[in-house]
Chains A and B, each alone.
Chain A
Amino acid sequence: MNQHFPNQRFLISGATLADGTHTDLLVDDGRIAETGSGISARGAEQIDAHGLLALPGLVDLHTHLREPGFETSETILTGTRAAAAGGFTAVFAMANTSPVADTAGVVEQVLTLGETAGYATVRPIGAVTRGLAGEQLAELGAMAASRAQVRVFSDDGMCVSDPLLMRRALEYVKAFDGVIAQHAQEPRLTVGAQMNEGTLSGELGLAGWPAVAEESIIARDVLLAEHVGSRLHVCHVSTAGSVDVIRWAKARGITVTAEVTPHHLLLTEDLVAGYDARYKVNPPLRSSEDVQALREALADGTIDIVATDHAPHPAEAKDCEWDAAANGMVGLETALSVVHASVVESGQLNWSDVARVMSHTPAAIGSLSGHGEPIAAGAPAEFTLYDPSATRRISTADLAGKATNSPYLDRTLPGRIVATFHRGHPTVLDGNLVDFQNGTEALGG
């Protein structure tokens, strides 16, 4: 039950499911109580969903909520509002906060703040190493046993580059069915790196971030995972070569999963040519050949999921020369539209595939129950209603978090989130974010 609401019934009529069938949905007591047609609307608030797609609530395995420590960029409240605005009902919060989420105390605090905010389930990701320093394992077991029940561990932003430490981490988390989510970046090959290394980096005079720095770590890690029989998850895969390595590993039976960000599915390094720091991100935007390979890998299952790497920054972190700018882009609010534009419009993924890569499989990788289930009678009422026929020119009014470092501002993207339901109650209704204190609040207006 959502603490902000008394129980309320909702009847959603005429929704289209991912498989193309149409149904009404009765939401009662935090669950989808009934599906089908001709359901009695008595006592229920009615929502007309004709023409809208009902998708299971999206689950983001890679979100930076910035709290504790960097509340000028984002808080757990503002970040989960951004999540709801994008159709997400659960987010995994990365560990690079201050203090770092490397103890049971910090992850429990993050969990509690998420519950209090009420916009989405927040599952903390624990750091692999103390302070993300890459020297000593964090208290992985304590975080796993805490109320936050951490199962995903990552030093994201930093690569666990020490091969012995990576091996130990992979082995250790087997004790509680954990998974190591690796930010694959060989640090010695990326000293001072500013953009994808290639023809353009040479012309722009920006230090290159070579594809091999990602691919070599992934190759090492899949072999380590095979050797110790552990689960590996690869964060934000960005190159065609990485896809080849992961495809090889999967064919060999290695238990590896991989994610791609929406921006790596849509944007290319050519955007860097104007030195606009909104396009600075790590891993960097790559070539159009890489983008094509990533789309194909998502379509054929080599890449398992889409994860946003939502990375909010204050304005001054981007309003500066390229070298001085922070890496990262916000992505929660636009993720579904970007996936729609990059792989659904091309026919590579259908909406069932989208439900799989943005809801079911990320929940499964993160051992998150209560999310990612198909929309059916008895399932938890975690879903979103999406208008696939809409188009919108993205402006800051579409962004619900604190930060505006979106690469999509002034771009036209397909689709629009009309409603999001979390724990049986709307967090977004009529395209507006629900304000739990003061009623609805305009979004996109």
Chain B
Amino acid sequence: MRHLLSTKDLDRDAAIGLLDVAEDMADVANREVKKLPTLRGKTVVNLFFEDSTRTRISFEAAAKRLSADVITFSAKGSSVSKGESLKDTAQTLQAMGADAVVIRHGASGAPHTLAASGWIDAGILNAGDGTHEHPTQALLDAYTIRKRLHGAASRGHDLDGVTVTIVGDILHSRVARSNVWLLTTLGAHVSLVAPPTLLPVSLRRWPARIGFDLDAAIDTHPDVVMMLRIQAERMHAAFFPNSREYARRWGLDDVRMARLGPGSIVMHPGPMNRGLEISAAAADSPQSTVREQVANGVSVRMAALYLLLSGEREGQ
């Protein structure tokens, strides 16, 4: 794998292969010494133009468990905040000998630009770009669903026939985009539920069913309900009247949780707004995978870094 920019580029075999490697990586986490020598001598740069402590430390833990050297380059307080361009930053990292760059950027497509630019030879791993994609989040979500469904026998399985309902701010969500492509590739049936204002104006090519009514979606008893974080600031741009109305219509509250039934799992990429898009009881219920998602995130990111750095490099 030369880069990991988008789940749209992943075919079924590649996606299952990555999830299977993540299973192996998860085994490492259960050992007394949680470390593999695989990437010794490799340098992984965490290049974060946006604050995201969770994603950054998850990648950091993943790289360290594989014995890579980790450099964290956060835009705040660095030359980037003094107006240095992405190009100059990339060339600096190239000169320092980065083998992989994990990039989080506020501009959609910035990882593509980095990968296509010729500024840097390193493998590029998209850790979230604007409102475009967040491929490792989708991979850890797929991993988590598979694990819940198949447990220790997960290896080799796809998500054929699994029904997934993603609820919330689809328009601005890179998590939703990456999940729509990946889960569909793996055979799942994806539905999106959102206020009409928070859906892209045209979803013609999206392999997903679209709805506005969360109660109707709950009544279909999907295997998975994935709640997205809603930013309360969106109400200032007239996406919805206020957070109370949002919670009433699109929040997973206790009543809806009860109607959903025990057969469904509840996911959230975090950080959660408890009481807004998800109730405390739903978040803390046995059906909730929120903490598993965090743990699985490290395994999946280990797998991504491993495949990026230890395999044959195309074109090299």
A198 contact from B130, B132, B202, Cβ within 8 A: B202
Interface residue? A341 (CB, 8 A): no
Give the contacts of A282-331 with B (CB-CB under 8 A). 316, 319-324
**A357, B82: Cα distance in complex, Å:** 47
Once A319-B87, A320-B85, A320-B86 are accepted as A-B contacts, the answer to whether A202 and B202 lie under 8 Å apart by CB is yes
Interface 1/0 per residue, B46-90 and A, CB below 8 Å = 000000000000000000000000000000000000000111000
B201 contact from A202, A276, A316, A320, Cβ within 8 A: A202
Once A316-B85, A320-B87 are accepted as A-B contacts, the answer to whether A205 and B129 lie under 8 Å apart by CB is yes
Q: Is the CB of A198 within 8 A of B87?
A: no
Q: For A323, list chain B residues within 8 Å (CB).
A: 106-110, 130
Interface residue? A133 (CB, 8 A): no
Quick one: closest B residue to A276, CB to CB? B116
Interface residue? B2 (CB, 8 A): no
Interface residue? A248 (CB, 8 A): no
Once A198-B201, A199-B203, A320-B85 are accepted as A-B contacts, the answer to whether A206 and B108 lie under 8 Å apart by CB is yes
| Size of interface on B: residues with Cβ below 8 Å to A | 28
- Expressed in whole angstroms, the minimum distance between the Cβ of A215 and any Cβ of chain B is 15
Once A210-B201, A319-B87, A320-B87 are accepted as A-B contacts, the answer to whether A203 and B109 lie under 8 Å apart by CB is no
Q: Is the CB of B202 within 8 A of A199?
A: yes
User: How many pairs of residues, A versus B, come closer than 8 Å at their CB atoms?
Assistant: 81
Once A319-B87, A320-B86 are accepted as A-B contacts, the answer to whether A205 and B113 lie under 8 Å apart by CB is no
B205 contact from A203, A208, A274, Cβ within 8 A: A203
Q: For B31, list chain A residues within 8 Å (CB).
A: none
Give the contacts of A161-191 with B (CB-CB under 8 A). none
A205 contact from B177, B201, B204, B206, Cβ within 8 A: B177
Q: Is the CB of B177 within 8 A of A324?
A: no
Interface residue? B301 (CB, 8 A): no
Interface residue? B191 (CB, 8 A): no
**A13, B130: Cα distance in complex, Å:** 60
Quick one: closest A residue to B170, CB to CB? A202
B203 contact from A202, A205, A316, A322, Cβ within 8 A: A202
Once A204-B132, A319-B87 are accepted as A-B contacts, the answer to whether A275 and B205 lie under 8 Å apart by CB is no
- Expressed in whole angstroms, the minimum distance between the Cβ of B29 and any Cβ of chain A is 32
Q: For B87, list chain A residues within 8 Å (CB).
A: 316, 319-320
Q: Is the CB of B107 within 8 A of A274?
A: no
Interface 1/0 per residue, B117-144 and A, CB below 8 Å = 1000000000001111100000000000
**A167, B315: Cα distance in complex, Å:** 60
A322 contact from B108, B200, B205, Cβ within 8 A: B108
Q: Is the CB of B201 within 8 A of A275?
A: no
- Expressed in whole angstroms, the minimum distance between the Cβ of A43 and any Cβ of chain B is 56
Q: Is the CB of A203 within 8 A of B201?
A: no
B113 contact from A203, A204, A210, A320, Cβ within 8 A: A320
Q: For B105, list chain A residues within 8 Å (CB).
A: 321
Interface residue? B104 (CB, 8 A): no
Interface residue? A201 (CB, 8 A): yes
Interface 1/0 per residue, B186-214 and A, CB below 8 Å = 00000000000000111111100000000
**A198, B131: Cα distance in complex, Å:** 15
Interface residue? B3 (CB, 8 A): no
**A322, B113: Cα distance in complex, Å:** 8
Known A202-B203, A321-B107, A322-B110; further 16 A-B contacts with Cβ < 8 A: A197-B201, A199-B204, A203-B200, A205-B177, A206-B130, A206-B132, A208-B201, A210-B201, A319-B85, A319-B87, A320-B113, A321-B105, A321-B110, A323-B108, A323-B109, A323-B130
Q: Which residues of B contact A (CB under 8 A)?
A: 85-87, 105-110, 112-113, 116-117, 129-133, 171, 174, 177, 200-206
Q: Which residues of A contact B (CB under 8 A)?
A: 194, 197-199, 201-208, 210, 274-277, 316, 319-324
Nearest 10 CB-CB pairs, A to B? A202-B200, A205-B132, A275-B109, A323-B107, A205-B131, A205-B108, A321-B110, A321-B107, A199-B202, A199-B204
